[in-house]
Amino acid sequence: MNLILLGAQGSGKGTLAKNIAKDFGIVQISTGDLFRESIAKKEALGLKAQEYMNKGELVPIDLTLKILKERIKKPDCKKGFILDGFPRSLEQAEALKKVATIDYVINVHLPYEECVARLTTRRTCPKCGDIDNMDYPGYTGNCRKCSTPLFQRDDDKPEAIKTRLEVYEKTTTPLIDFYSDRLFKVSSLGSPADTYKPVKDFLLKHGGKK
Ligand SMILES: [Zn+2]
C-alpha cells in the first residue's frame, strides 16, 4: 500500500505518518531523510544531490525521483511506503506516476490559526533535534531526551510561519484536485489518537493489512 501524506507544518502530519508506518508495517519516507540516507551511504545519486544542496539549490525533480526509485526497491518497502513532503507540485505528481503507483492520499487538515498556534509554541532541542511543545503536558523547557534547554527556531517564529503556510496552501491545493479520486481527508483538531482513528479505519477497509 503506497500512500502520500499531505498536511501543513503544524498539522500533526509527522505523528500520523509514524502511527500508520508502525501499524501497517510500511516505511515513512520524507524527502529530507531520503537525501540524508543516500548521502550517508555515499551512493552516487545521493552525492549528486548533495552538490545541489551544498550550493543552496533545490535538488532537481529527475534526481529526486531516481533516488526515490532506488529507495522503494529496498526490502523494507515490500509492504509499501508513505511519502511525506513529496510531491509538492503538479509537475512532481505527474513525474511520480512513472516511478510508483499511489493507492491513497491522506490529507490532514487543520485550520490556519490552529497551525500557527501549534507552531508558535513549538520548541526544539539544539543538541539532539528533539521537538516539544509548550502546550504538551509535562513541558519543562528542557529537552525530554537530553535535558538541554530548548529554543525557538527562526522558522517557527510568526512571520516565517505565515510565509511557510501560504506557500504550502498555494502548492498543495492543486494536488488535492489531482488526487481527488483517491483522497481521504481527516481533521487533526483533536488529539493524535483522534486523528489516527478514522485514517486507520479507512486503510483497513481499503485493503491495508496490519
Ligand atoms: Zn535534546
What gap in Å lies between CA 102 and CA 4, rounded to an integer? 7
Global pTM reads 0.83
Residue 23 Cα to ligand 1 midpoint, Å, equals: 27
Active site includes 36? no
Q: How many CB atoms neighbour CB 85 within 10 A?
A: 19
Report pLDDT for 209.
61
Helices (H), the chain: 13-24, 31-40, 44-54, 61-73, 90-96, 112-120, 158-178, 192-205
* H helix and E strand count, the chain: 8, 7
Provide the grid cell at 201: 479505519
pLDDT tens by residue, the chain, 210 residues: 999 999 988 888 888 999 999 999 999 998 888 898 999 999 999 999 999 989 888 889 999 999 999 999 999 999 999 999 889 889 999 999 999 999 999 999 999 889 898 889 999 999 998 889 998 899 999 999 999 999 998 888 888 888 888 888 888 889 999 999 999 999 999 888 999 999 999 999 987 665
Longest pairwise C-alpha distance within the chain: 48
CA 9 to ligand 1 centroid distance, Å: 21
What's the CA-to-centroid distance between 133 and ligand 1, angstroms? 13
Has 118 been annotated as catalytic?
no
Determine the distance separating the centroid of ligand 1 and the alpha carbon of 130, expressed in angstroms.
5
150: CA distance to ligand 1 center in Å?
A: 8
* Active-site pick, 18, 66, 88, 144: 88
- Phi, psi dihedral angles at 104 (to 5 degrees): -140, 150
User: Where do the domains of the chain lie, and which CATH numbers do they carry?
Assistant: 2-26+79-205 (3.40.50.300)
CA of 57 to the centre of ligand 1 (A): 29
Q: Which residues contact 129 (CB under 8 A, 6 or more apart)?
A: none
- Annotated active-site residue 185? The verdict is no
Active site residue 127: no
Residue 88 a catalytic site member: yes
- List the one residue out of 204, 197, 193, 174 whose CA is nearest residue 104: 204
Dihedral angle at the C-alpha atoms of 44, 46, 48, 51, nearest 10 degrees? -140
CB 111 within 8 A of CB 189: yes
Pairwise CA distance, residues 16 & 6, whole Å:
11
pLDDT computed for residue 208 by the predictor: 65
